[in-house]
Structure 1
Amino acid sequence: MILDALVPRRIGGVLAGLVTDEPVIALHGPRSVGKSTVLRRFAADAGVAVVDLDDIEVREAVIGNLASVASGPSPLCVDEYQRVPEILDALKGWLNREGSVPGTAILTGSTRQDALPTTAQALTGRLHAVTIWPLSQGEIAGVHEDLVARLPGDPAGVVSAVPASKTPRHEYAERVCAGGLPLALRRSAAARSRWFDDFVRASIERDALELSRIRERRAMNDLLGLTAAQTGQLLNISASADKLGVSRATVEGHLRLLEDLFLVVRLPAWGTTLRSRVSAKPKVHVVDSGLAARLLRVTPDKLAGFDPSALTEFGRVLETFVVGEIRKQISWLDESVTLGHWRTSDGEEVDLVIEFDDGRVLAFEVTSSERASGSDFRGLTQLRDALGARFVGGVVFTTGTRAYTYSDRLHAMPVDRLWTSVADAAER
C-alpha cells in the first residue's frame, strides 16, 4: 500500500466549522501526521500566510515581535507553535484587549499544549484543542466512512446494509503494518521500516529532550518498545520498571512524555462503578498500528501466519488498529464522547466502550479470527445486561466475511466495515 497523492483530511471540515465559534484552535498530533498540510490548506482558503516556526529565521523574527505577530490579520496561522510557546501569552494579551473573537488563530503542535509548562495556563477557556490522528483507512481509500456516526441510530440496520467482505487475512495484516502516517505510506515496505526507525529516533532524541531534561534516554527508548509489546493490553507500570531497572516514578514520567509526544495513548478504564470487580487499570495503545508493528519487528507475512506467537501478535496489533480507526471517526463527530475499556477481575472484557453525553453506550470487541465465538460475546453480554436500555449495541469485529446479529443488540461485523460508506451501501 503506497500513497501516491495528497489525501483530503476529514478534520479539515471539522476545522472549518470550529473557526466560527472558537477564538483559538490548536491542532495537535504526532510529528509527520499531516498537521502542516491541513493548516496550509486552511490558510490558502482563508487567503493568509502560515507562520512556520520550524524555520529558524521565522522563529527568531517572531520571538522579537510577538505582540505584532499576535495582533496581525486574522486568522493567524502558526505551524509548530511549541517552538515559541510564548506566542500563546501574546495571543492571550491580544484577546484580553480585543475580546474573544472567533477564528483569531489556528495553531499546530507536535506536543500537547498542557505539556508546555510555561504556557500551561495561557488561553484557558479560549483554546480548543483538536487531535489530528494518522490517516484513516477511508481517507486512504477515498471513502467517506460513517460507521461510528450511524451505529447509534440503528445498529441492526447498519449490520444488514453492507454486503459481504472480500478482504483476505493477508490484506488486513498489510493494512495493520502500513498504519496511517502519510510519509510512511509513501514508501515501500523496506523504506517504511527505516522511516519508522528514524521517526522514533527523532521523537525521543529531539522532541522529548525539548520537553524535558531526561537522563535515561535509553530507558525511554526501551519503554517505548515495552509499551508496544503491551499494546492493546492492561498497562503494567511496575512490571515495566522492573524490566528496565528504573523506578516506577521514572517509568510513569517517561510514559507521560510518550503520551505528550503522541507516540502512545492510554485508554482509561470505563464504568468502574458498574461493579466492584471491574478493573481500574488503563489499557495502552501505540498511536499508529504501523509504528507498533515496526517496534515489534513483525511483518504482514508473519502476522498472517497461524503459529501461536503470530496469532497473539496479530490480535494485539489488530485491536490497536481497530481502536485507532474508531478513534479517528469519533474525532469527526459533532458531539463529544467518553472512551474507555471495560474489564472484570475474572477476565471478561470489552476492548472499547463509547459513552455519549446522553448516556447511550456502544461497545466493541476485536478478534483476529474469521468467526466470532460465544466467548467473544461474553464481555459484551455482561455489559449489555448491566446497562439495560442505555446499551445501544455491541459489535465483535472479525477478519471473516459475514455480518450478522448474534443476539439482542449484539452483532458481528468484518473489520473492513470501518472503511465502508454505510450510506452509499444502503442506497444500492
Structure 2
Amino acid sequence: MYIKRHLETTIEKLSGCCKVLLVTGPRQVGKTTLLRRLAEGNRTYVTMDDINVRSLAMTEPGLFLQRYKPPLLIDEIQMAPKLLPYIKMYVDEHGNGDFWLTGSHAFDLMENVTESLAGRIGIVHLLGFSHAEVAGLGAGAFVPEEKFLLQRAQEAEILPMRDLFGQIWRGSMPALNNASEQDWNNYYSSYVQTFLQRDVRALTQVNDELQFYRFLCAAASYTGSMINYAALAKEAEITAPTAKQWLKVLAAAGLVYLLEPFMHPNLKYGVKAPKVYFTDTGLAAYLLRWSNAEILEAGAMSSSFLETWAV
C-alpha cells in the first residue's frame, strides 16, 4: 500500500518552476517510488544501476538523450556525472520539469550538480516515513508554537508508550512498515552490508570494512548526544581526525544528521560540538543490538532514541 508523502506538494511546485528536479536521501527511503507515483507513467524511467544504460550515459551522453527522450526520470544519477553537462545544454533550450533525478551520495553528487546545474535545479531531501505520514496526518511544517501544538494535540492520536517504542524500534524505512522481527533483522543486515560494500567505497578510502563497521556501531551509541570525537575514535580504534572525517561520510550518505549549536559569535566558552542523530532509529537499534521494542523501551538509551525519533 502506498503511503502519501508530505513532500509531494513541494516536488510538484519545484518541478513547475525549476528546469531540473533532484531528490536526494539515504538508500531505500522511497525516492524512486515517490517520483514514479507522481509521474503516473508520463515520463520515461531509466536507472543507472543498469550497466548498459550507465555505459551509454558515460560514453555517449548525447546519444543517451536521443535514445531516451525527455521528460525523463533518471535514477541514481551520481553514477553518471558526465551526463549532467548535457542535461544543462538541453534544459537551457527547453522548458521546466523535463528532468527528474534521484541520487544517494550527497557529497559527490552535490559537487557535480553545483558545477553543472547551478541556478537550474530544485533540490529536495527525502528521509524515511515520519510519524505524521504513517498516521495519515496532514502535511505542513512543524511549528514549535503553542497554537500549533494545541491544534496538533487535538488532531493526533495519543500513542501508548509500547506502540511508540514499537515504531521507534521498527524505524522509518518504507519496506519495514509492517515487518516482523525476522524481516527487521534480515533487512538491516542486508542494508548495512550493502552500505559497507558499495557506498563507503564510493565516498571515502576505507580499506578495512570491519573497522568502519565498528565505527558505525560506536557512532550509533552517540545518537541523541553531543559528539566527542576523541572518545568516539577510542571506541572505534581509529584517530580523532579519521572519526571526524568518517562521521562526515555518514552525514553525506544521509545516515546521520549533525545538529550544530546555536551561539553568539563572540561567545568564548560555549560548547561548539554538534549533537548527532541517526536519521533512522531502526538502523541505530540494529547496530546497538536492541533486539526488540520492549528491551529498547526499558534500556538505558530509551530517552536518547525518543529524542532522535522526535528530531
Compute the TM-score of the two structures, normalised by the length of structure 2.
0.89
Q: How does 1:318-333 map to 2 (within 5 A)?
A: 318-323=306-311
Tell me the residue number matched to 2:13. Answer: 17
Q: Residues 269 and 281 of structure 1 are in contact (CA less than 8 Å); yes or no, is this contact kept in structure 2?
A: yes
**Structure 1 residues 163 and 62, CA, compared in 2 at 3 Å: closer, same or farther?**
closer
Q: How big is the shift at 1:23?
A: 1.4
Tell me the residue number matched to 1:128. Answer: 122
Deviations 1:165-203 (A, max 9, x none): 642211111010011101122421122122112101101
Unaligned runs of 5+ residues in structure 2 are none
Q: Residues 28 and 129 of structure 1 are in contact (CA less than 8 Å); yes or no, is this contact kept in structure 2?
A: yes
Aligned partner (choices 73, 76, 88) of residue 72 of structure 2: 76
Q: How big is the shift at 1:62?
A: 2.7
Tell me the residue number matched to 1:51. Answer: 46
Deviations 1:5-46 (A, max 9, x none): 22122222211111111111210111111011012123226x
Matched, 1:185 2:177: yes
Tell me the residue number matched to 1:210. Answer: 202
Q: Give me the whole-angstrom Cα distance separating, in 2, the residues matched to 1:85 and 1:289.
A: 32
Q: Give me the whole-angstrom Cα distance separating, in 2, the residues matched to 1:163 and 1:108.
A: 33
**Structure 1 residues 267 and 65, CA, compared in 2 at 3 Å: closer, same or farther?**
same
| Structure showing the higher strand proportion among its residues | 1
**Structure 1 residues 242 and 272, CA, compared in 2 at 3 Å: closer, same or farther?**
farther
What is the aligned-residue RMSD (CA, Å)? 2.5
Q: How big is the shift at 1:124?
A: 2.1
SS of 2:115 mapped into structure 1: coil
Matched, 1:38 2:30: no
SS of 1:304 mapped into structure 2: helix
Deviations 1:220-274 (A, max 9, x none): 2111111110001111112122222222222222212111211111111123448
SS of 2:28 mapped into structure 1: coil
When the two structures are aligned, how many residues end up with a matched partner? Answer: 309
Q: How big is the shift at 1:319?
A: 0.6
Q: Give me the whole-angstrom Cα distance separating, in 2, the residues matched to 1:82 and 1:123.
A: 13
Q: How does 1:68-147 map to 2 (within 5 A)?
A: 68-70=63-65, 73-96=69-92, 98=93, 101-112=95-106, 114=108, 121-144=115-138, 146=140
Tell me the residue number matched to 2:222. Answer: 230
Q: Give me the whole-angstrom Cα distance separating, in 2, the residues matched to 1:250 and 1:235.
A: 14
Structure of higher CA gyration radius: 1
Deviations 1:343-374 (A, max 9, x none): xxxxxxxxxxxxxxxxxxxxxxxxxxxxxxxx
Compute the TM-score of the two structures, normalised by the length of structure 1.
0.66
Matched, 1:8 2:8: no
Deviations 1:363-387 (A, max 9, x none): xxxxxxxxxxxxxxxxxxxxxxxxx
**Structure 1 residues 202 and 164, CA, compared in 2 at 3 Å: closer, same or farther?**
closer
Deviations 1:27-86 (A, max 9, x none): 0111111011012123226x1111111122222233343124447644321011112122
Q: Give me the whole-angstrom Cα distance separating, in 1, the residues matched to 2:151 and 2:6.
A: 21
Does 167-176 or 180-189 show the bigger shift?
Answer: 180-189
Unaligned runs of 5+ residues in structure 1 are 324-428
